[in-house]
Structure 1
């Protein structure tokens, strides 16, 4: 069992960032990764694991963009089966099994999804069919057969137990998928594991231009620096066109609402309600450990240039989410029940055959990713959080081929992230279960830094904030509250937490 401290070499401390900055300026490296989201962090890890020298440059913070605005799911792609994309569904199921079994079993847990008959018997029958097809796909990939329970029909008593807020006395169908404790925590774990493998991780570093092998960077203190790269990996998601203007993207906004779990009877399963008029799109009420439920997901086209600021749900999206889930609830939710909301932009790739105009059917665009070469820049874009590792593997394959060095095969399917361990070992970690579910084997180190709550009535601790600064690269209040502990998802709680975060930063930096 690992000791109580952070994994050696994986500490993203203020001192480590300063040393990385000194080493990066004027350096020549094999791979420069631009973008500190899940794809960029995954690519940095893959490249470092193959013996390449790596620098990751992120303009803001780890997981500052789309990667922290997901539904926090590691899913097997039932929707892709509905669109006939069997290959994408198998890839999703395979990568889910890798995450749950090897890469991050501490961050991913099985979650039941319930489609009640109250949503219509046609809906629950389709869910049963789709779930069984998903079970068959899962059984066909390595490690998939035993990773989740099978789809089954349940009676009224089970519906009432799993989702107490559902009206009527009908049964329903339960299928299973994976749920992340926190999408941003996955990105931080990837970045720290890459750092342990020798990658230099520099946040607050915006890439302004790539000129041949020269990468020009502006730091958030206004200082400029340059370095030379054998290959530049553009993993900037919806902002990919800034380094690769020829990539054709159709961003889509996915929005979620945050509501108290008590308003839905404190469900233990994800309540799943079909969007009216669709057989492949659902609204999910996803239970969270903090006594909250995330209600999502929308799929709205986003025209025009992509802004740097975080997107927000529109009034129409809020109404759509509430109206859809209210179809099956005894006590309908109102806007007054919404204590927070968030939205992210999916970088959907427009196929080359799509003509000149993007149209607006983003829900029907494939979630396949694109790998494109533009001179020294390799752009990897599209896909989804679940398949980040496969995307990273493909782009590093291309980098290795171009460089003529580095291991030809990726080892990341067999590489646990910091904090990861088999479930039996995690069960023996001497720390609060909530911390184990977020930090894995490092939970004792986090617990030792302080157990007092950041905000009364919430579970997050001051020790987590201290650990975020000392080991996870946090440098600001936003880094702490919006990306390391996620209190920021409830604005009223965030306001109360700001003074505590400021005190921690003043003491630690």
Structure 2
């Protein structure tokens, strides 16, 4: 397997990084290959620091790959008067949509139905909230060409955007706009590959067993060999596993479950819509249309201390809860037979001492926490997908202070691999579906289709994904198993019946990847 691009990560680059790190310490070693660890690695390497990133399994295989896929400005936090978190979210959303990843993050309309029989104060409060939300958008510097202003909707407009709603209940609606990432795992890969392109050493399948302030002790799970990465500073960014390396940290994992439904069953909605959870003002279940003809319905918020952080089980009570809530608004209620898949992720809710470092929060479910205790690794935990960049900046600020290096963060305006402004994306000579996933690299993915008929064909009849996308996942994005390909380089595993159809083709492409790579 060859390395044709400095941002590519694969088995060849993994071996090279293992060899290098065996004899060379780095400035910063980051443990955790989710969005937080990826962000820390990119922030650090972009400041000129030498960096190693260590991940025990596949990248984005924990919480970061199983979110609601939203890049949101914090609407829900306005309801709880948490203006600081809402403002931070709005600012980070701006950088993601304008500069960092405009190819991955797009706008998504949200319909708030105003229904008959509700107290008059509820729609008034919701309308005021959307106006205030738009004020945050404007003050963040994000223009209305990217996210339009909110507006009132007539019943017919509500029906056009969210056809499955029971229009006998709807009087009118409120439309506001937010950000949606085409795929949260792809955002993680983009951040990691951008860091690799700047010189970060990226290791997957290297499972950390112990951390000190200046070393990561781990095991190469492919060979069983011990691995030690020496560093001037170690950053613990392991999410729901962070407390295992930090005795001062107390973690409360919260399970967020989503159901997957065919978009046709809901009339192919053109916007998301919200359903209030009774008795919990400001908490909603979202009906979220996705690329590829699917809709996600979520999300739950249940403490789950015993769950597997990589594959949290979806209990029947979560399914029942989400269906019961969403069915209060639908003309034809959904049944369990309409659910074609489900997935869950664990939010790493942190509560711990601040030690001698800066940052932290009393609101563990919303703010991120940086623990900076002398003589121990720096730990960064909490937060959410939208604010990963700010979390990383704060963690690297703490690391830089230890190192005596005071270069400012560059990541607010540093584009990820594949990212260019919208007019340039429109000029990429490739199908729009590929441009949304790969940005300027869409043409390279399409070029793979010319290598072999196996790569040009869809994985199965009715599937948009081609073999070329799987090959790109292997050569450029670090995939090394069929599960990597079906669960994270594509999201076919969200519908198990589709993943089963693709499994044989994925295994064949994985087995032949070295031959295809040599052709490059």
Structure 2 length normalisation: TM-score? 0.92
1:394 matched to which residue of 2?
Answer: 394
2:414 matched to which residue of 1?
Answer: 415
> What is the CA–CA distance in structure 2 between the aligned matches of 1:152 and 1:211, rounded to whole Å?
53
Deviation at 1:409, TM superposition (A): 0.7
2:337 matched to which residue of 1?
Answer: 336
> What is the CA–CA distance in structure 2 between the aligned matches of 1:246 and 1:204, rounded to whole Å?
27
Pick the aligned partner of 1:478 from 468, 483, 486: 483
Judge conservation of contact 2:164–2:331 (CA < 8 Å) in 1. yes
1:203 matched to which residue of 2?
Answer: 204
Deviations 1:232-255 (A, max 9, x none): 110000100111121112111100
Larger mean Cα displacement after TM superposition, 181-190 or 79-88? 79-88
Deviations 1:420-468 (A, max 9, x none): 0100110111100000000000001111222311122121111100111
Structure 1: any 5+ residue segments left out of the alignment? 1-5, 354-363
Q: What is the RMSD computed on CA atoms of the aligned residues?
A: 1.7
Pick the aligned partner of 2:294 from 288, 292, 295: 292
Judge conservation of contact 1:118–1:167 (CA < 8 Å) in 2. no
Deviation at 1:313, TM superposition (A): 2.0
Judge conservation of contact 2:212–2:234 (CA < 8 Å) in 1. no
SS at match of 1:285: strand
Deviation at 1:27, TM superposition (A): 2.4
Deviations 1:373-420 (A, max 9, x none): 242300000000000000000000111110113x52101001000000
Deviation at 1:145, TM superposition (A): 5.6
Closer, same or farther: CA 432–91 of 1 in aligned 2, 3 Å? same
Judge conservation of contact 1:166–1:329 (CA < 8 Å) in 2. yes
1:267 has 2:269 as partner: yes
1:429 matched to which residue of 2?
Answer: 428
1:493 has 2:498 as partner: yes
> What is the CA–CA distance in structure 1 between the aligned matches of 2:91 and 2:326, rounded to whole Å?
30
1:51 has 2:48 as partner: yes
Deviation at 1:139, TM superposition (A): 1.4
1:383 has 2:383 as partner: yes
SS at match of 1:298: coil
> What is the CA–CA distance in structure 1 between the aligned matches of 2:412 and 2:288, rounded to whole Å?
28
Deviations 1:100-157 (A, max 9, x none): 0000000011100011123764444332221111111111123356531111110011
SS at match of 1:33: strand
Closer, same or farther: CA 119–349 of 1 in aligned 2, 3 Å? farther
Judge conservation of contact 1:33–1:55 (CA < 8 Å) in 2. yes
SS at match of 2:372: strand
1:106 has 2:103 as partner: yes
2:115 matched to which residue of 1?
Answer: 118
> What is the CA–CA distance in structure 2 between the aligned matches of 1:404 and 1:63, rounded to whole Å?
31
1:61 matched to which residue of 2?
Answer: 58
1:373 matched to which residue of 2?
Answer: 372
1:359 matched to which residue of 2?
Answer: none
1:148 matched to which residue of 2?
Answer: 147
Deviation at 1:213, TM superposition (A): 2.3
1:220 matched to which residue of 2?
Answer: 221
2:252 matched to which residue of 1?
Answer: 250
Q: Which runs of 4+ in 1 moved over 4 A?
A: 119-123
SS at match of 1:112: strand
> What is the CA–CA distance in structure 1 between the aligned matches of 2:209 and 2:478, rounded to whole Å?
22
2:232 matched to which residue of 1?
Answer: 230
Structure 1 length normalisation: TM-score? 0.94
1:161 matched to which residue of 2?
Answer: 160
2:351 matched to which residue of 1?
Answer: 350
Deviations 1:56-89 (A, max 9, x none): 0000011010001100000000111111111110
2:471 matched to which residue of 1?
Answer: 466
Judge conservation of contact 1:272–1:282 (CA < 8 Å) in 2. yes
> What is the CA–CA distance in structure 1 between the aligned matches of 2:338 and 2:350, rounded to whole Å?
35
Closer, same or farther: CA 71–257 of 1 in aligned 2, 3 Å? same
Judge conservation of contact 1:251–1:345 (CA < 8 Å) in 2. yes
1:9 matched to which residue of 2?
Answer: 6
2:438 matched to which residue of 1?
Answer: 439
Closer, same or farther: CA 212–177 of 1 in aligned 2, 3 Å? closer
1:358 matched to which residue of 2?
Answer: none
Judge conservation of contact 2:249–2:352 (CA < 8 Å) in 1. no
Aligned residues: 492
> What is the CA–CA distance in structure 1 between the aligned matches of 2:277 and 2:213, rounded to whole Å?
48
